[in-house]
Amino acid sequence: MQSLLNFLHDESISSPFRAELSNRGGYITFSNSGRRGDTKYFQIGIDSILTTLKDILTNIEVFSRIQDYEEKPWRDNGSIYFSDPVANANSTVQTKPLFSTLSKIIKWANQPTLNNLNTDNRISITPDTLENTITKLNVVADSFAPHSNSKIVKPPLNEPLQIIYYGAPGTGKSFTIDDKTDDENSVRTTFHPDSDYASFVGAYKPTMEYDDIHYVNSDGVVRYTNPDKNREGRVHPGTEKKIVYKYVPQAFLKAYVAAWSNLNTPYFLIIEEINRGNCAQIFGDLFQLLDRNNAGSSSYAIHADEDIAQFLSGDDKGFASLSDEQKDAIRAFVLHKDNGRTQAVGQAILDGKLLLLPPNLYIWATMNTSDQSLFPIDSAFKRRWNWKYMPIEYHPLDKKTQQPIDWKFQIGDNLYSWGQFLVKINPEIYTLTESSDKQMGYFFAKADNATGIISEDVFLNKVLFYLWTDVFKDFDVSSELFKNKKANRSFRFTDFFEDKEALGNFIANFNLEVVEDLEHEGEIQNEKGEWIQPTFVVDGETIPSMIDTVLTVLKKYFEKYPDISTEEAIRVWNSFGLPKHALETESVFNERTDTSKNRASKVFNTADGRKFYVSAQLRKQHMDKLISKANDWDIHISRIS
């Protein structure tokens, strides 16, 4: 939709009755035809026009009868019904210029429906055209409000606008950002050594598009058409695929357009591994926009490249496809500088001429300190960010349940504490490298979501591979922890593939406690050292195994709470420390096990016919949690063996 300023200018070119919107002050200058002498000019405020339009709407039965211009009816009715004194006076002495001005404004607000309207001779008066005009003219009026009283758009969240989460690999930097953001309102990118301005902002790229086929004959250049059908009975469309160059926006412009499109919603530009790219080269002149003022927007705007300006103003992926309301919100934006000055930059932003970060655009990044030597970030760039150090946690809590995350890693049939391994390996890394940058965070290796176990394959090919190829490659590893006693030398990474016992021998050097023997999962050793199923007593009834004990308690639980919803029961049973997926519905179980090998579950049916799956991956610590929780339900469990 064309702006009111430009519309009135263009509409007045062919009209003897001119009407021009002022650049400042919120009024319209209109003129008579000048046929009886010199052309005379008059001014009327936008608020006066709004009042007049509302008067016409209130008395629509009168004015809808005189949509074709007749001087006497308009002069007389204007004198009677126009409550604004300026409009009332002009209706009696400058009747047709006022009529033409009102008609032009109504035509502007109802584009393209009224494009063929002759505004000097006719005015469109219907409830829809008037209400639409009043709504849109109100936005224009608001843009002329004194800047000191104009609404300041502020950041919608109480969070840093620009922050870099930094720390050792595996400390949860990306997880923290992901936990705080919404995928629908986020644009994510990862920097790398080959990243540049074009891959971050946008550039012209070749794409395939259908284009009309043309040929030259005696009539000149003619579009190809052929009404004849081919063998398949289809008519050739007269188009063919061609390579065309289009401006393709990348992460920055995608987030920029999304944020400006809805100033009340937070949008996030997330940059992973920010220090793996050359930030000065990637950001280019956008670096200046990172200076934010107290209102949250960039402190000052910069002029956009012609390519970016054309994309923003003319492309549907830019601002061209926005609704009138969205465009009006951008037009009304006023830059409030920290020195108290204001600048109306909205129209220039909408036209793509100026670039300015809106206060709802958050730029969050991660930085692995282990990679900081790739492209050091200069002090000028650092000053424009908040920084958040992510320490290594050896006993982290689940942020949702506040339960301990107790991951284990598997070597052979034995499970060891992942946290205890980190407690012992990280000081060795620090001693060798004299830095904490290469230490490993708790989330460096990912455990299976169902079991909480880091597989032997992951431990070998991610953890040990990292240690030998990234951390220890430039150091003499002579500590006792890394001694291959069998070969009477330090371990080499190849040892773990050439000798089946090497991995177990390496872990033995750490003196880690075996948390569990998987060969005897769910069993305990008796006094004779024999592996047996533990026995429990539930409210006086002897139960011969862990899983049967859980099923018995579950049955009693539903007997005590027969009206509890399926959702609430699942929430309760998954909240106090049983294995993951302790209780789940059949549909959830089937969906999960489509992609997971963890199918160790038992079916449980309630008295009212509901079907659940109960995890059978039980260990001593799980039963301890169940014994404690069951007391809250007045169900008493004791262990016999």
Same domain, 197 and 329: yes
For 280, other C-beta atoms within 10 Å of its C-beta total: 13
Least confident window among 22-31, 144-153, 475-484: 144-153
Residue 383 lies in a domain: no
What is residue 157's predicted lDDT score, i.e. its pLDDT? 79
Give the pLDDT band (50/70/90) at residue 417: very high
Is 234 a domain residue? no
Q: Are residues 105 and 83 both part of a single domain?
A: yes
- Whether 508 is covered by a domain: the verdict is yes
Mean pLDDT of the chain: 87
- Predicted local confidence at residue 148, as pLDDT: 40
Regarding whether 454 and 352 lie in a shared domain, the answer is no
Among residues 179, 163, 175, the alpha carbon closest in space to that of 442 is found at 175
Distance CA 619, CA 635 (A): 20
| 140 and 167 together in one domain | no
CA distance 583 to 595: 18
C-alpha 596/C-alpha 590 separation (Å) is: 10
Place of tokens 């049973």: 573
441, 174 Cβ separation under 8 angstroms? no
Confidence of residue 257 (pLDDT cuts 50, 70, 90): very high
Decide if 536 is inside a domain. Answer: yes
Query: Does pLDDT of 37 surpass 50?
Result: yes
Q: What's the pLDDT tens digit per position in 553-604?
A: 999 999 999 999 999 999 999 888 888 788 999 998 888 877 665 667 899 9
Where is pLDDT greater, at 579 or 102?
Answer: 102
User: Are 488 and 547 contained in the same domain?
Assistant: no
Residue 94 within a domain = yes
Report yes or no on whether pTM surpasses 0.75: no
Give the tokens for residue 589. Answer: 């179980």
Mean pLDDT of 136-149: 67
User: Model confidence at 141, in pLDDT bands (50, 70, 90)?
Assistant: confident
The domain of 348 spans 162-201+250-363
Q: Are 412 and 143 in contact (CB under 8 A)?
A: no
| Mean pLDDT across 297-303 | 93
Average pLDDT over residues 241-262: 92
Total tally of structural domains belonging to the chain: 4
Do residues 366 and 274 touch, judged by C-beta distance below 8 A? yes
Q: Residue 387 falls within a domain, yes or no? A: no
Maximum average pLDDT range among 2-6, 15-19, 244-248, 494-498: 494-498
The angle subtended at Cα 303 by Cα 300 and Cα 308, nearest 5°, is: 125
Q: Given 483, 518, 553, which residue is the final one in a domain?
A: 518
Give yes or no: residues 539 and 469 share one domain.
no
Q: What is the DSSP letter of 464?
A: I
Give me the mean pLDDT over the 144-166 stretch. Answer: 72
- In tens, the pLDDT along 58-99 reads 999 999 999 999 999 999 999 999 999 889 988 888 899 999
Residue 389 within any structural domain of the chain: no
Distance CA 391, CA 387 (A): 13
Higher per-residue confidence, 31 vs 574: 574
Specify whether 561 is located in the same domain as 511: no
From 518, 550, 583, the end of a domain falls on: 518
Assess whether the previous peptide bond of 404 is cis (omega < 30° from 0). Answer: no
Percent of the chain with pLDDT over 90: 56
Last residue of a domain, one of 78, 109, 144: 144
Residue 531: predicted pLDDT: 65
Domain identity same for 504 and 538: no
Query: Which two structure tokens, joined as six digits, stand for 50?
Result: 């709004």
Average pLDDT over residues 477-497: 90
Mean pLDDT for 455-461 is 93
Residues 8 and 107 both lie in one domain? yes
CA nearest neighbour of 296 among 348, 251, 259, 253: 259
Residue 333 vs residues 139, 154, 311: alpha-carbon distances, Å: 11, 11, 20
Query: Is 182 within the bounds of a domain?
Result: yes
For residues 472 and 416, state if they share a domain: yes
200 burial via Cβ count (<10 Å: 0-12, 13-18, 19+): buried
Statement to judge: residues 264 and 355 lie in one domain: yes
Query: Can you give the pLDDT at residue 370?
Result: 75
In 3D space, the residue among 477, 374, 391, 389 whose CA is nearest the CA of residue 429 turns out to be 477
Query: 280 and 168, same structural domain?
Result: yes
